[in-house]
Structure 1
Amino acid sequence: MKTSEFREAIDYKRIKADYDKGLSSSQIKQRMEEGLDNKPVESPSKTVKEIIADNVFTYFNLIFVIISVLLIVVGSYRDLTFMPVIIANALIGIIQELRSKSVLDKISVLNAPVTSVVRDGEVITVPSKDLVLDDIVIFKAGNQICADAIVVDGNVSVNESLLTGESDEITKKPGDTLMSGSYIVSGTCRARLEKVGRHSYISKLTLQAKKTRKGEQSEMIRSLNRIVKFAGVAIIPIGFILFYQAFYINHYTIKESVQSMVAAVIGMIPEGLFLLASVSLVISAMKLAINKVLVHDMKCIETLARVDVLCVDKTGTITENEMTVSDVIRASEEYSEDTVLGLLSDFAAAQDADNQTMNALKKHFHRPAGRIAISTTGFSSEFKYSSVTFDREAFVIGAPEFVLKERLAEYKERIDEFSRKGYRVLAFGKYSGIPDGKELLSAVDPVCFVILSNPIRENAPETFRYFAEQGVEIKVISGDNPVTVSEVAKQAGIKNAGEYIDATTLNTDSAIKDAVTRYTVFGRVTPEQKRKFVRALKKAGKTVAMTGDGVNDVLALKDADCSVAMASGSDVAAQAAQLVLLESDFSKMPDVVAEGRKVVNNLERSGSLFIVKNIFSIILAIMSICFGMKYPMEPSQISLISVFTIGLPAFFLSFMPNKDLIRGRFITNILLKALPAALTDVIIVGAMIYFGNIFSVGPTDIATASTILMSIVGMMIVYQISKPLDVYKLGIWIFCGVGLVCCMIFFSDLFAITSMSNRCIILCVNFSIIAEPCLRYLTLIFRKVRNFFIKEA
């Protein structure tokens, strides 16, 4: 959008309310009736209609409808046994997505952005969507600007990086414009909303912080898409050729030709695989939501399970959010203790409690001496200081490296002594000029050093021990002194915490690239550097997760493979992240990782069952075409095998606990697990057809024998992938086996199971015996191949 377009006036009568009183209740009601509220243009989640449509109107469902119509036309009603499975699949998908929508929408409401607004002379908090045109809102550090506004009182520093791509802070004073999509870095102001809802930038951007990159998918979903697309393309030509060959060349009846074609096509369709993956992710998202972890983007559940580098901040992650003043050390005898405490109290009184440091200072220094502030600058994350100018003197408090400049060497030993103990040290001193929030032109004359501390989170050592055991490397990226951060990291039990570096020395991309692989702790990191660190780690082939809670974390959160925010942090960090820890409890992270590993590992295991049938059906269909024979099995027999050796075991096994490390690529793993059983099926069913023809066994007998043989191999592979067995897995295996046998005995007509001739029984028994060593040796071969691929990866 062009600037001229932004400045166009909205054709409504404007209300210039006093910034101390705001709009009245009647004016709010009028604005609501006019539709001038701040509701987003797009719904944040799928509607019920969209969920139903996504699960019903799919490519494969269209194929199944066509197949059903063909079977009905030829009168083969028995072969419609696959329809209940398809309907059940669609219903499960719809029900699970609706349940997930309900849970996530409720939690999203609890975590929805809110804004402080002045109405009827009182300051109240309302959901950002309920703001109206001309509302007087109050913005503080960490707040996301939810609608286009103009500052009417106060001064703030604003980061517009989400709009412009530049991370420089811009000072905004009365009369300046605040753009929705940017956020407040420091200071407090009151602003009048100029454009809301569909008229504002936020509606067109939908906030880059909330958006995911279009079309981006996790490795698992990309792999499943490839499998589904391949099957979707292959079934059409193979289906046509099979029908043409059976009807026009082999001169079977149209009913037999359709049955043959449908059996092959049904076998090639992985109808439950993609659904199983979607349902698994949805259920995981629901479980995490119940445990107070909000999932903005479900693909991150898998991504976090694959993470091998986790970037964390010190404050709020390793330590508690609350900061306290531990001591005050005078720099010289020039100022008495009472004078120092009075100066710090006056300084703190003039500042807003818009960050943890200033909040700690205001709580500790609460006995002002009465000095009147004539100007202030809020804390700058870029220049690491804040300031207050009194009548004739200006005072600054900030990071010693930034405010002491060339005088740092005089006090370095004293500062390092406290830093080595895990304390944060701030230098408080007198400045010769008038600070403007930008870089100081000269060193301050130190008055004292304020010693701050954050207690280590009680469960932090246990959490970091878990990640060390799981092979996840920790990188501590902080804006604090690297010595301090290193000591805190040691206390938290982070491996290699003694390897630290001052990020101010990393001035080139090559230096950053080298540092991210060598060091564990990074201090004095700027917001832009955090982003560069994440990018450098990704270029090094790492899967990177980033945690953060402040506005200075948002750029890195956007670039990380998986981003995690604390709900107690800034609005923009929570909205930029894929996962939000609603209780700001970092100890929840192992549970999230375990949930992701369970999903991926179980889908690799369960998904291989689906692929067995698909590979077998494709190979057998191609063999039928090449050798000019009719596809040997009927649709109802394929459905019977699918239910008890694929669908039911895959569904139940996909929810078993599984915390194993993820090794190798998803598509390679799933194919190498499926190939031994698929090839075993091809060998024994192919042999059954070949020798059945030699010994003049009828086609119905061959079909029944093939069904039995495939069922036996299916139960073998279910048993194999269920290892190590426990009572639950053994119960699933026995249930599926009994169900399979019962259906063959009591519902034989429904599933086209006929009595077999003695010759056929003998062949079936022989090939059943051969199946076990065939599967065992093929499994050993492909296991070696799989281990080779994993080693290469």
Structure 2
Amino acid sequence: MTAIEAVRPDSPATGIVSAAAMSSTELLEQLGTDIGAGLSSGEVARRQARWGLNAVSSHRARLLLVLWHQVRSPLLALLLAAAFVSFFLGERSDALVISVIVALSVGLGAVNEYRAEKAAAGLHDQIHHQTVVIRDGRPSQVDVTDLVPGDILDLRLGDIVAADLRLLEVTGLSCDESVLTGESLPVDKTIDTVPAHTALAELSGCALMGTVVNAGSGRGLVVATGARTEFGKIAAGLNTHPLDTEFQVGLRKFSMLLVYVAGALTTSIFVTNMVLHKPVMDALLFSLAIAVGITPQLLPAVVSSSLAAGSRRMSRRKVLVKRLVCIEDLGNVDVLFTDKTGTLTEGHIDFTRAIPAADADPDSVLRWGLLCTEHSGEPGDIVGGNPLDQALWNAPEVKAQQSALASYTRLGVLPFDHQRNMVSVLVRDSAGRSTLITKGAPETVLQRCIEVPAAAREALAAEFAAGNRVVAVAARPARDQQPPTTRDEHDLRLVGLLVFLDPPKTDAAAALRRLATLGISVKVVTGDNPAVASKVCRDLGLGKGVLTGAEVDALDDAALALAIPATTVFARISPAAKARIVRVQRLSGGAVAFLGDGVNDALALHAADVGISVDSATDVAKDAADVILLEKNLDVLADGVGEGRRIFANTIKYVLMGTSSNFGNMFSAAGASVFLSFLPMLPSQILVNNLLYDTSQLAIPTDQVDEEQLRRPSHWDIGFIRRFMIFFGPLSSVFDFLTFAVMLGIFHAGPMEFRTGWFVESLATQTLVIFAIRTRRIPFFRSRPSVALLLAAFGVVAIGAVLPATPLAHTLGFSPLPGLYFAALAAMVVGYLVLIEIGKRIFYRMAAVTVTPRRRRYSTSRSLRRRAARFSTAATRSASVAAYT
């Protein structure tokens, strides 16, 4: 058997080490690939049927795993154990009721969390990565999951290698392989064969899935896909938990607060009941029920429902999130760094004219510019690549250049990179003369020219002042027939300037004003010329402060932190400087977002609290991002920010409700158990009360949010939640004790009737108080709840009132209540809501709540953990690895 089998239905896939030991000719023959035409569409379909998708893993909603998340609560386990003991001690009805209630609670939570997981899976299915392959004799863009062994794949700067490749052609190609080897320095690539026993890190003739093209370009033959790649083998053995977001950290801190409160209450109640010589089993069950009662048991379900509903709304608004919890982080943003092209400008770049220098003419400037591209196809046939080159090749003037272009032969290319900001090409004309052509950012090209006419400098300044994008073209005769290197880019003569138009978006100014109303400061970080970026920003009404890359590099972090607030435009900024600006701003407090779509944005996307990219971005940018915009539009981003804040606001409503009313009820239960000769409420009744109450709160995600809550970001404040619980909990207990007095003093209730009366009152007050707590305004008059919340709240109160008159009453330990009780109940509910409204005004006046800026120390481990997590969680697409650091 050969080292590499032909791709047949009964043959295994090749390995990269074996492929590295074979010549390109042998590989092409073994895999049945034509180097010029690639695979045919029919052959691709056959191989896809055999090998499946080129994917390492997929995001799937797993019902059993979701169910396990719900049942692993220690409190639920204790309740089930207590129910089990009760059953064997003869209290079978109590055991059955408790078991049914726990099952219903778990079922409700599982259904809602599963729906959220399904929503997350749907979002992953909408995120795609494209790559350029040769099929049917021409280049085409395909989804990376469609790659098969035998495909010929083009590699360009910033691409994430989508499969394991044996390299066929390279031009200054180097790859960042840190994702696999841990080495931070890029690895130069060749087309040489190496022995089959060579270590993975030494396979210079191969490119491995998940690595990133750091410089140059190349072409390779796919020899392994999906889980059969080296990356796939590593990812399959990882079980890395994604890095927690600020939202998840807040939830965890809140949960710990509840653990402390529940522990203190249950312990004290159990000890008190034992001291009063009450039955041990009753005291144990009552204490456990108190613990469950004070815990917002359906908080995960409410959060999941909010996030799932929010993700669906955001998807309709063309915003996709990789992880649902990132929605809330998006709402926390108060500083946005963004690039200019396609965000503030139309993004549809058009070539407008060529400006000659010295003795040149416009046609020759255009011709040299067309020759100096990494693309070597026909006009209109560019797939991917630099957008300026695409605009140049798609210009109407190109057709007249065809005969002239055909007379030149390309001898070598020095690809574009973000350090040089140039591309150089060596060509030979029909007369045998060789010429080195260099094209790129005017500042860098002009530095390499012997002399620059004053008229050219004036023309360049005028174009920059008009806000146009300009590329300089220079050339010189060349004697060496070898591919150019950076040492050859000298002694050039300016040929002329190529001018491109990318006008500001008509709706960008309105979008910027909308972001300002949301409390978000927008700053432009671009590699473009300062004059061009400033002109666009002035036209859109942004500030005037400008810093260049050189000026940023000259500042230390402390000085840069002081300069950022007064700066609107950061121009000619390198990838490392972008990330540094973001990092310094994060240290100043607040949440920072970065919006970018290029390989030079990957570092900054990693450094930001929320990385935002677009569906048309480079793969490395999309992988580094947390949020994907299906439309590169600041208005779409504003929609996402508003949705994130709406979700957080609704989540906090449930938290405040659960902590205050539950704490109040359980505090009342603890107090009543001291002076009553019987338990004030049976454990099963407490659980039914908690289940009905939580069910009504599942409608909170549909609720409307007051406008002032959307104007600025909000963050978890455990101290505020604790103060809210301590302030409003006792207020609810006031009416609980009033109910006790009514039941004992007026109705002379026995144990069963007492429990029934308190059950109905506590359910009504803690459910209806949502209408006061959900807003700081006057409820109903200045802030109206959603219809779903209205129906859910009043529906649950009605169920609680009717339940004592149903056949379930005896099983649950209820008895019918006199009609006069409901009149007293109505008066107590109204009095309670009035008292809460008064207390609300006092509390917020006293609290003077302010959002304290979050000062955090940035660490590169954050990016490393995010990348590691994506091995297993975001590898929905085979190339989904953010490794460009």
The equivalences for 1:218-237 within 5 A come to 218-232=245-259
Does structure 1 retain, via aligned residues, the 8 Å contact 2:696–2:767? no
Residue in structure 2 matched with residue 775 of structure 1 by the alignment: 836
Q: Distance in 2 between matches of 1:626 and 1:487?
A: 75
3-state SS of 1:422 partner: coil
**Cα distance, 1:278 vs. partner?**
1.8
Answer 1 or 2: higher relative contact order, Cα 8 Å, separation at least 6: 2
Query: Match of 1:355, as an amino acid?
Result: N
Question: Against the structure 1 CA distance between its residues 60 and 337, is the aligned structure 2 distance closer, same or farther, given a 3 Å change threshold?
Answer: same
Q: Return the alpha-carbon distance in structure 1 between the equivalents of residues 831 and 364 of structure 2.
A: 94
C-alpha change, 1:315 and 1:757, in structure 2 (3 Å) is closer
Structure 1 counterpart of 2:858: none
**What is the distance in 2 between the residues matched to 1:65 and 1:349?**
68
2: CA distance between counterparts of 1:290 and 1:212? 32
Note the alpha carbon deviations across 1:62-121, whole angstroms, 9 max, x for none. Answer: 244234434544436368656666544544444445555555545644543344445686
Conserved 8 A contact 1:243-1:257: yes
Equivalent positions of 1:74-473 (< 5 A) are 74-75=90-91, 77=93, 86-102=102-118, 105=121, 108-109=124-125, 111-118=127-134, 127-133=143-149, 135-155=151-171, 157-158=173-174, 160=176, 163=179, 172-175=189-192, 176-184=205-213, 188-193=217-222, 196-198=225-227, 200-203=229-232, 214=241, 216-232=243-259, 239=266, 242-243=269-270, 246=273, 248-253=274-279, 256-257=282-283, 260-332=286-358, 334-348=359-373, 353=382, 354-364=385-395, 366=398, 367-368=401-402, 369=404, 370-391=407-428, 392-405=434-447, 410=454, 412-431=457-476, 436=484, 438=486, 442=490, 444-473=492-521
Aligned to 1:786: 847
1:215/1:447 CA distance change after superposition, 3 Å: closer
1:667 aligns with 2:718: yes
C-alpha distance after superposition, 1:623-682 (max 9, x if no partner): 5788897652223443454355x3244222321232523445343454444444311133
Which residue does 2:770 correspond to in 1?
718
1:316 is paired with a residue whose SS is coil
CA contact (8 A) 1:503 1:524 kept: yes
How has the CA–CA distance of structure 1 residues 231 and 767 changed in structure 2, closer, same or farther, with 3 Å as cutoff?
same
CA distance in 1, matches of 2:764, 2:94: 23
1:3 — aligned with what? none
Query: For residue 537 of structure 1, what is the amino acid of its counterpart?
Result: Q
Q: Which runs of 5+ in 2 are unaligned?
A: 1-14, 193-204, 429-433, 855-885
Which residue of structure 2 lines up, in the alignment, with residue 490 of structure 1? Answer: 538
Q: 1:65 aligns with which of 80, 89, 107?
A: 80
Moved more, 664-673 or 418-427: 664-673
The answer to whether the 8 Å contact 2:678/2:751 transfers is no
Checking the alignment, whether the CA contact within 8 Å between 1:23 and 1:134 is kept in structure 2 is yes
One-letter code of the match for 1:203? Answer: G
Deviations 1:137-180 (A, max 9, x none): 22244432022323212425445176388987766453343233
Q: Deviations over 1:410-437 (max 9, x none)?
A: 5554323222221112211125778846
Q: 601-610 or 153-162: which moved more? A: 153-162
| Deviations, residues 490-514 of structure 1 (Å, cap 9, x unaligned) | 33x2531x22221132224435434
Q: Which runs of 5+ in 1 are unaligned?
A: 1-5
Matched to 1:146, the amino acid is: A
Deviates more, 1:667-676 or 1:315-324: 667-676
Residue in structure 1 matched with residue 602 of structure 2 by the alignment: 554
Distance across 1 between alignment mates of 2:171 and 2:268: 75
Q: Deviations over 1:275-301 (max 9, x none)?
A: 211221122223333444332111210
- Structure 1 position 766, deviation (Å): 9.4
Counterpart of 1:179, as a letter, is L
Aligned-partner Cα distance in 2 for 1:533–1:133:
42
Between the aligned partners of 2:172 and 2:842, the Cα distance in structure 1 is 66
Deviations 1:572-628 (A, max 9, x none): 222222122234455321221122111101111122222224423554566578889
Q: Equivalent of 1:742, from 802, 810, 813?
A: 802
Q: Whole-Å Cα distance in 1 between the matches of residues 374 and 130 of structure 2?
A: 26
How far the C-alpha of 1:778 sits from its partner, in A, is 3.7
Asked if 2 retains the 8 angstrom alpha-carbon contact of 1:422 and 1:485, the reply is yes
Q: Give a deviation string over 1:394-449, Cα, whole Å, max 9, x none.
A: 12111111111286895554323222221112211125778846487646422211
Deviation (angstroms), 1:372: 2.8
2:27 aligned counterpart, secondary structure? coil
The 1:279/1:768 distance shift into structure 2, 3 A limit, reads closer
Distance 1:483 1:625, change over 3 A: farther
By how many angstroms is 1:543 displaced? 0.6
Q: Which moved more, 1:472-481 or 1:435-444?
A: 435-444
Distance 1:195 1:307, change over 3 A: same
The Cα of 1:558 is off from its aligned counterpart by 1.6
Cα displacement (A) at 1:374: 1.9
Letter in 1 for 2:360: Y
Cα RMSD of the aligned pairs, angstroms, is 4.3
TM-score normalised by length of structure 2 = 0.77
Cα distance 1:790–1:119, how it changes in 2: closer, same or farther (>3 A)? closer
Change (3 A) 1:422 1:581: same
CA distance in 2, matches of 1:7, 1:588: 43
Range that drifts further, 14-23 or 586-595: 14-23
Kindly state the Cα deviation for residue 127 of structure 1 after the two structures are TM-superposed. Answer: 4.5
1:404 is paired with a residue whose SS is: helix
Q: How far apart are the structure 2 equivalents of 1:783 and 1:629?
A: 39
Q: Return the letter of the residue paired with 2:167.
A: V
Q: Find the counterpart in structure 1 of residue 197 from structure 2.
A: none
Contact 1:75/1:255 (<8 A) preserved: no
For 2:387 and 2:567, the matched residues in 1 are separated by 27
Distance 1:11 1:527 in 2: 33
CA displacement, residues 344-388 of structure 1 (integer Å, 9 cap, x when unaligned)? 344359657511011112223521523333222222222111122
Alpha-carbon distance change, 224 to 340 in structure 1, aligned in 2, over 3 angstroms: closer
- How far 1:223 sits from its partner (Å)? 2.7
Distance 1:289 1:85, change over 3 A: farther
Distance 1:443 1:256 in 2: 94
Inter-CA distance 637–61: structure 2 relative to 1 (3 Å threshold) = closer
Cα distance in structure 1, aligned partners of 2:329 and 2:721: 18
- 8 Å CA contact 1:243, 1:258 repeated in 2: yes
2:35 corresponding residue in structure 1: 19
Q: Is the 8 A contact 1:512 1:532 kept in 2?
A: no
Equivalent position of 2:199 in the other structure: none
1:689–1:702 Cα contact (<8 Å) kept: yes
The farther-off stretch of 700-709 and 595-604 is: 700-709
- Counterpart of 2:553 in structure 1 is 507
Q: What is the TM-score of this pair, normalised by structure 1?
A: 0.85
**Which amino acid letter does the alignment assign opposite residue 681 of structure 1?**
S
